Chain A
Amino acid sequence: MNWRERLRPYRAAFAARFLQMLQYRSAALAGFATQCWWGGIKVMVLAAFYAGAQASAPMPLHQAITYTWLAQGLLALLPWTADPEVAQAVRTGAVAYDRLRPVDAYALWYARTTGWIAARVLPRLALMALFAAVLLPLAGWTDWAWRASAGAAAGLFALLSMGLALLVSASMVMLLNIATAAALNERGINALAVPVVIVLSGNLLPLALLPDAWQTLLLLQPLAALVDIPMRLYFGQLAGGQAWRGLGLQCFWLALFVGAGHAALGRTMRRLEIQGG
């Protein structure tokens, strides 16, 4: 079987979920409105801090603003919560029935989860780009707008990195799905995950603005792979060899989480196979 045929089930699972989620237009619009609102507040707070700052900031204000708009646009990319459908399937043992399909169960659910996330991110990101990168400059508020990347190469790296961020996020959501199933209740895990994700991904503040002593650790922790690394690539802060290292780090996390998720789901499946659905 050639690789196209091999991948056919997973591509189809991704597409089905993606197209299905894309239909929830009002959710996308509501999400976008909230994200603009919070984005606006964050931009104003940042401006106030920058105006009052004594020392020189690690990144100029216009970068921090661009970072904020993009991070708001990518909000749905973060692994907030387990995919309710997947978690339920793991919990009820319905995943055992995936053994009836000639596919790898993890890969199938992973493809679905990726479709689920992508369908929520893309419309909101597009709307955010329209608002912050097109409408704000047109209105004359260039200082507050989302600005272009530091050159074409930086833009391409950032785009590639955002794609990887999507894959990393899906692998994290898969772990949440499986953990949720083990804990029988998603609330505890979600309550724990949300604040950690907001801070460590860079969604709250660009990680570069956090204390200098933490920088290495902040960049090496896995949540940086979701927002902060793509943004550093966008601004050209990571360029040349460092850019590749940034992408490599994302790939490392991706491999690690996919491996862990695959093993964990495999264990669940074997338990179900022996104990009964």
Chain B
Amino acid sequence: MPQILVDQLHKTYRVAERAPGLGGALRGLLRRRHRTVQALAGVSFALERGELLGFIGPNGAGKSTTVKILAGILRPDVGRVEIDGRAPWDDRERHVQRIGVVFGQRTQLWWDLPVQEGFDLLRDIYRVDPARYRRTRDELVALLRLAHVLDQPVRQLSLGQRMRAEIAAALLHEPDILFLDEPTIGLDAPSKLAVRDFVRRANRERGTTVLLTTHDMHDIEALAERVIIIGHGRVLADGPTEALRAQVLAERRLVVDFAHEAPAHLALPGVTLRHREGQTLALDFDPALTSAPALIARIAAEHAVEDLRLEGLSIEEVISRFYALHGAADT
């Protein structure tokens, strides 16, 4: 039985809106207009214990809403969620004792308290046994390199330090499941690497189930073995990260540097000219139709070639193609 079961979640928000300008404001006083926004339109998936799932999608796709529902902050309009056989809102206190949540956009530590005191407070809020707490805390402080900021108030931390502290804070009570909503947003490269490294270790070494939402495809590439693409409140794809790449992108790219001006077209089957600049030409081709050696041989036979590079597409391109395919980009 999966640890997390999500079945046909629907969620709509009502947003107040008003026409611009004074006239709009006055009319808004008399009659409020509301618009319904469908955040989730039937999201379903299941997650086994110890899995690391990446959730990607454009802004407004429903990623955060899904995490909030799983965490028990929001209630869906329709649909079923079971985490270890229970709905998050049925037995809230027991549920939250077992999950850790980090929202990249929102701090959950008390702003004016030094990090150490914020941690101690969480120890008492989760009623963690003191000896156990000391062990977990020391481990987290070492892994997330927090020792030198423990005495500083949270408001004085850099974004990277704060995010590492938030992650430690979410794990002090040793939850089985970790929800990370855009944990790398706004972080610099070393902090991103530190966060990814830590999440991977938590998943592999402690067996923590991780659900992570992100815009950053590198997070997915570095971490997730399985990825769900979400758009317009629906699951567009769900599968191993590699399979997804293979499915959407059987295509490869060949970049050719010619000895002379690049030719304007190449009449080759199954080959699309993606980009042309000076002596360089980028070609996308389907290896099933034209094999790479055959393609290279034909080009080299007809033109003087200086250099050749064969590339796989980056996952960003995979995803944006995917959105284009489903018309799911933020509208």
Closest-CB distance, B112 to chain A (whole angstroms): 6
Residues of B within 8 A of A101 (CB): 96, 125-126
Q: Mark A260-277, 1 if CB is under 8 A from B, else 0.
A: 000000000000111111
The yes or no answer to B31 lying at the interface (CB within 8 A) is no
Residues of B within 8 A of A272 (CB): 73
Whether A20 and B108, one on each chain, are in contact in the complex, defined by CB atoms closer than 8 angstroms, is no
Among A6-14, A169-177, A226-234, A245-253, the stretch in contact with B: A6-14
Whether B125 and A94, one on each chain, are in contact in the complex, defined by CB atoms closer than 8 angstroms, is no
Residue pairs across A and B with CB atoms within 8 Å: the count is: 75
The yes or no answer to A140 lying at the interface (CB within 8 A) is no
Whether A96 and B121, one on each chain, are in contact in the complex, defined by CB atoms closer than 8 angstroms, is no
If the complex has contacts A16-B117, A100-B101, are A8 and B73 also in contact, measured as CB distance less than 8 A? no
Q: Mark B127-166, 1 if CB is under 8 A from A, else 0.
A: 1000000000000000000000000000000000000000
Q: Which of B14, B39, B72, B124 is close to A11, meaning CB atoms less than 8 Å apart?
A: B124
Residues of B within 8 A of A96 (CB): 73
CA distance A13 to B113 in the complex (A): 11
Q: Which of B96, B106, B120 is close to A99, meaning CB atoms less than 8 Å apart?
A: B96
Whether B113 and A9, one on each chain, are in contact in the complex, defined by CB atoms closer than 8 angstroms, is no
If the complex has contacts A12-B121, A16-B110, are A102 and B75 also in contact, measured as CB distance less than 8 A? no
If the complex has contacts A16-B117, A102-B93, A102-B97, are A9 and B125 also in contact, measured as CB distance less than 8 A? yes
Count residues of chain B with CB under 8 A from any CB of chain A: 33
CA distance A100 to B75 in the complex (A): 13
**Minimal Cβ-Cβ distance residue in A for B124:** A12
CA distance A20 to B126 in the complex (A): 21
**Minimal Cβ-Cβ distance residue in B for A23:** B112
CA distance A106 to B209 in the complex (A): 31
Whether B120 and A12, one on each chain, are in contact in the complex, defined by CB atoms closer than 8 angstroms, is yes
CA distance A59 to B60 in the complex (A): 68
CA distance A97 to B75 in the complex (A): 13
If the complex has contacts A9-B127, A16-B113, A276-B65, are A100 and B74 also in contact, measured as CB distance less than 8 A? no
CA distance A99 to B103 in the complex (A): 14
Which residues does B use to contact A, with CB under 8 Å?
A: 13-14, 39, 65, 68, 71-75, 89, 92-94, 96-97, 99, 101, 103, 106, 108, 110-113, 117, 120-121, 123-127
